[in-house]
Amino acid sequence: MARPDLQPPKAKSVHLPFAASLTAGMAQRIINPPIGIRAASWGAAKIHVATGIHNNITTTAMAVRVDGGKFQYLVTVDWGWW
């Protein structure tokens, strides 16, 4: 006869809800300022004017909604090194 203290516990009934509904979307855009805009990192620049694009400035956005609730958003901007 097996010892009762070494027996695994009896399984309990557990209710598992159905899988959640997930809606998600993602987009990425280049948001470079126009050529000719004043540069030097501030608007009062008199002599520094953008003449071209060295690296693109990008923004990425993601929207997620679970079970028909409110959308949650995450937005990032890649400004470069500063």
pTM of the model: 0.59
45: which 2 tokens?
Answer: 């620049």
Q: Is the pLDDT of residue 13 over 70?
A: no
Average pLDDT of the segment spanning 24-34: 90
Categorize the per-residue pLDDT at 74 as very low, low, confident or very high, splitting at 50, 70 and 90: very high
Work out the pLDDT band at 68, boundaries 50, 70, 90.
confident
Distance CA 61, CA 9 (A): 48
Closest to 66 in 3D by CA, of 12, 21, 18, 14: 21
SS3 80: coil
What distance in Å separates the CA atoms of residue 73 and residue 71, rounded to the nearest whole number?
Answer: 6
Residue 68 DSSP code? T
